[in-house]
Structure 1
């Protein structure tokens, strides 16, 4: 499968500057646990966000000794530079020209760093798109669907969830019988005509409960799944939940959607607590917000619910429609107090 991305193109490289942007995404069915070369242990599905993006300019200077300088919001970041250098070396088999020059990469996010929004996904997604733009430029090809699929493949090798950020709407990564064409090697869009209209106009407001670095990185957390006694049951559960979700999306069963999405979020954090060593990324404010959401939903019957990434911050999900104003008022009046510094990122899903 990976060999399909090794092309025998003729390349004529030269100095070039390309600019790309890529949104972040939030998984509904979570990916937690992976095999060698960023192969997921279970399929996942995510919503692509609209406003939370990484903007990246790649300047390629042909003929120079290979090196990477990476600037994040104008500041030279040596750690990121080293990480991207290693990444470029790992993907030389798919882009044979990639080590034949010097790179100056300027990148910035439209959202706060370490805010519970997957900056690695949007970051590597933007870099992969930029590399494919250079690839088609140097080989005199076209940026088509095949090139976008290769960008998804390359993004995955940098950050697993990056492969999902290359497409709008609901996006699937990981082989599953429920979605034709799904793959462990790249992401595919979920069929738009199999999604009820109620799921196509959603808000995602991210409460910034904790804005610092996580105590345990996602890379370490994924690795701990190798010895987690509940890992295999979790991987099987994800397949079962995918089957359930497919029908939920088709018929527009919002209560069932809420139940499944919240359960997936809590399962993700349960896996962390059952790792060896165990770790907890939720904070007191995370739990306070969850309980407040449950109480609000019980009292009002309004569809405000949550999901969590691998961190303390809470993604508040709710559709536009009747009751939206009441939901927004509740968030601002009752939930903002649990944030670290009154921080919230207001986003939405795009199709």
Structure 2
């Protein structure tokens, strides 16, 4: 059985003084939601997501061997500069330092180098789209590229599995942003290769109905998240409905396995919308409790339901832990849905803003 210890390298066969890499990694949208976690970023239930194509983080990592005369204690052991959109970003540094502390045992070279991390998003900052998934995935890909220089024998399979494993330690859902267009994270008994340790590409047939699936993200509220993901996950620990919710996630993932094979978009809609509303129900019934939707979120949901009932166009919604709405639909109805969005939904978006996206394939070396 695969364990985290399998990602601890024994020795490195090469040395490298300096260099740089650049990777882009996309955001992703969960269809079956991960909500609640155990120690070490282990999910309380499995999840499955569509990898996005246009909403991504681009991160350049420059590295050079450290001056060994500088005591490690001066920098808490790690030496790095962090730039966001070309400018120093001090308030991001504690999160990166915590990430480095978590992954050091798996990348023992981290204290040997000074790093310059230069990162930006292709979507507006503070647009209410989770950038931690794409950001941590992009950083993990860069670190793995350096490890491959130090150990050229690393296989592609190991490279991507370990990148996903490391990304998970920065942000749980980041492990689903490394490779594949449909990604499963978390152990599911009838999904071969599924594991709590990293995301895996969906291993079975996916019907052509789900190829190039579209995701138009309606920016209802671009403010800072009302509740951090960490706090939200923690609220599941003593939640009165937690165990039933975890069981439901397994059941819904089972349903999606069959749906992806048979192409039944009607059943897909039922599972995906139910999952979105369940996530929000968990927050509304936790202690303390939160309502993460805004009035305009509900207006959009009701408008989508009305449009679908009247036109039979297979469009649906999903939500992250916030107010923004992801509108999902097959590529063959793209024109009709975009017209509907422009005619009826744009008015519910902050400053009329929305982002058109679609299924992508994961991280890319630039």
**TM-score range for the pair, normalised by the shorter chain length:** over 0.9
1:260 correspondence with 2:263: no
Q: What SS does the aligned partner of 2:111 have?
A: coil
Q: Aligned residues, how many?
A: 349
Which residue matches 2:252?
A: 241
1:179 correspondence with 2:191: yes
Question: Is the contact between residue 128 and residue 224 of structure 2 (CA under 8 Å) also seen in structure 1?
Answer: no
1:208 correspondence with 2:212: no
Q: Deviations over 1:39-75 (max 9, x none)?
A: 0000000000111111000111211453222111122
Q: How does 1:188-207 map to 2 (within 5 A)?
A: 188-191=200-203, 193-207=204-218
From 335, 338, 342, the counterpart of 2:348: 338
Matches of 2:9 and 2:343 in 1, distance apart? 56
TM-score (norm: length of structure 2): 0.93
Question: Is the contact between residue 14 and residue 62 of structure 1 (CA under 8 Å) also seen in structure 2?
Answer: yes
Q: What SS does the aligned partner of 2:40 have?
A: coil
Q: What SS does the aligned partner of 1:45 have?
A: strand
Deviation at 1:216, TM superposition (A): 0.9
Q: What SS does the aligned partner of 1:37 have?
A: helix
Which residue matches 2:73?
A: none
From 322, 336, 341, the counterpart of 1:326: 336
Question: Runs of 5+ in structure 2 lacking a partner?
Answer: 71-77, 362-366
Task: Name the Cα RMSD after superposition.
Answer: 1.3
Which residue matches 1:301?
A: 312
Q: What SS does the aligned partner of 2:110 have?
A: coil
Deviation at 1:141, TM superposition (A): 3.5
Question: Is the contact between residue 214 and residue 334 of structure 2 (CA under 8 Å) also seen in structure 1?
Answer: no
From 291, 294, 309, the counterpart of 1:283: 294
Question: Is the contact between residue 89 and residue 99 of structure 1 (CA under 8 Å) also seen in structure 2?
Answer: no
Deviation at 1:118, TM superposition (A): 2.6
Matches of 2:45 and 2:261 in 1, distance apart? 22
Deviation at 1:283, TM superposition (A): 0.6
Which residue matches 1:114?
A: 126
Q: How does 1:131-142 map to 2 (within 5 A)?
A: 131-142=143-154
1:5 correspondence with 2:36: no
Q: How does 1:70-149 map to 2 (within 5 A)?
A: 70-142=82-154, 144-149=156-161
Q: Runs of 4+ in structure 1 displaced over 6 angstroms?
A: none
From 23, 26, 29, the counterpart of 2:29: 26
Q: Deviations over 1:144-167 (max 9, x none)?
A: 121111000000000001111111
Question: Is the contact between residue 19 and residue 62 of structure 2 (CA under 8 Å) also seen in structure 1?
Answer: yes
Question: Is the contact between residue 184 and residue 199 of structure 2 (CA under 8 Å) also seen in structure 1?
Answer: yes
